[in-house]
Amino acid sequence: MVSFAGVLLAGLLLGGIYSLVAIGLNLIFGVIRVVNFAQGEFVMLGMYATVVAYTVLHTDPYLALVVVFPLLFVFGMAVQRFILQPLQNEPMMQIFATFGLLLLLQNVVLAITGGTSVSIQTPVSGLTVAAGPLQVSVARVVALVAVSVVAVGLQWGLRHTMAGKAVRAVAQDRRAARLMGIDVERTYMLTFGFGAGLAGVAGALLTPIFTLTPQIGGNFILAAFAVVVLGGLGSVWGAYIGGFLIGITEAFAGFYLDPALKQAIWFAIFILVLVVRPTGLFGLAGAEEMGLRVQE
């Protein structure tokens, strides 16, 4: 018999996953102001890279992080430099390009794996731990802890490191940042790389939880958009808390209504937020135009 607390817990853990995927998207969206439709595919690539590391090198997924992050960081930098930078002032072409990237990545992996789904069994994979009367999946708790660490780290990095300050400056006013001597293109590359790297980290952490198919990116991308909008464009805490809110809402809707309707939930939240409070919970007015805001 599933209790209220059980559903709440499931929602929290699910939310942790969504936050993990959304934090990278939020960074990219908030700073570079480009919609990266391919973010879900970066997660998918991270997952498959982890699987390869596991089967070939026998590394535990949580250790594979160390390799997956730089791999996707470099990939992200390349995407920004060669695909998005030439399209800087053409939002419609950016949408075409990132959507094309989505199709390309998804189907390259499909062609390579031949469409069979993959899952790996790590020491963590089926492990549950008792929390009172409920059984909790350890892998999901790890994901939740990880996203908290990432959020805190990112917030700190943005506020206290020179690179972070450069990122915020570029997000606030690109021209002024350039006049101050900040290399805007390099900052964009770093940001996109970081966003892609975070997606890869999310992928690595999620590998013990999911059965992988090339289409798995699609499961996350729409929820991630809903999270980013709900939390407020550009706000790290917004993405963090927004993920939990969406996860909890989805869990309850799935329990009381129908699990098949989760896309409708994301859409409803998305539209509701944009109509009622377009800046999201933690964004500031005009955040969608003004980019990243770190809570002072």
Partner 1 sequence: MKAATRVRRFSDELPLLGAVLAALAAAVLLEAGNNFALNILATTFLMAGLATAWNVIGGFGGQFSLCHGVFFAEGAYLTANLVLHWGISPWLSLLPAALLGAATAFAISWPAFRLRGPFFAIATMTFSEVVYVLANYFDGVTGGSQGIRVPFRAGWINMIFPSRIAYAWIMLGFLLFCLAASLYLLRSRLGYYLQAVRDNEAAAQAAGIDVLRTKLWCFGISAGMTAIGGSLFMMYVRVVDPPTLLTLADVGVRFALIALIGGVGTGYGPLLGALLVVPLEAWLRAALSASLPGSNLVILGAVLILAALFFRQGLAGALTGLFARRRAAPA
Interface residues toward partner 1, by CB under 8 A: 34-35, 37, 83, 86-87, 90-97, 99-108, 110-111, 114-115, 214, 222, 225-226, 229, 258, 260-261, 263-264, 266-267, 270-271, 274-275, 278, 288-289
We find the least distance from the C-beta atom of residue 258 to partner 1, in angstroms, to be: 8
Cβ count within 10 A of residue 294? 19
For residues 265 and 222, the answer to whether their CB atoms sit within 8 Å is: no
Alpha-carbon distance of 288 to 294, in angstroms, equals: 14
We find the least distance from the C-beta atom of residue 220 to partner 1, in angstroms, to be: 12
We find the least distance from the C-beta atom of residue 154 to partner 1, in angstroms, to be: 22
We find the least distance from the C-beta atom of residue 193 to partner 1, in angstroms, to be: 18
Cα R_g (the chain), whole angstroms: 19
Between the CA of residue 293 and those of 91, 118, 163, 169, 200, what are the distances in Å? 22, 39, 15, 10, 24
CB nearer partner 1, residue 182 or residue 229: 229
Let me know how long the chain is.
Answer: 296
We find the least distance from the C-beta atom of residue 150 to partner 1, in angstroms, to be: 23
CB nearer partner 1, residue 250 or residue 288: 288
For residues 255 and 198, the answer to whether their CB atoms sit within 8 Å is: no
CB nearer partner 1, residue 144 or residue 269: 269
Which DSSP letter does residue 261 get?
Answer: G
CB nearer partner 1, residue 42 or residue 69: 42
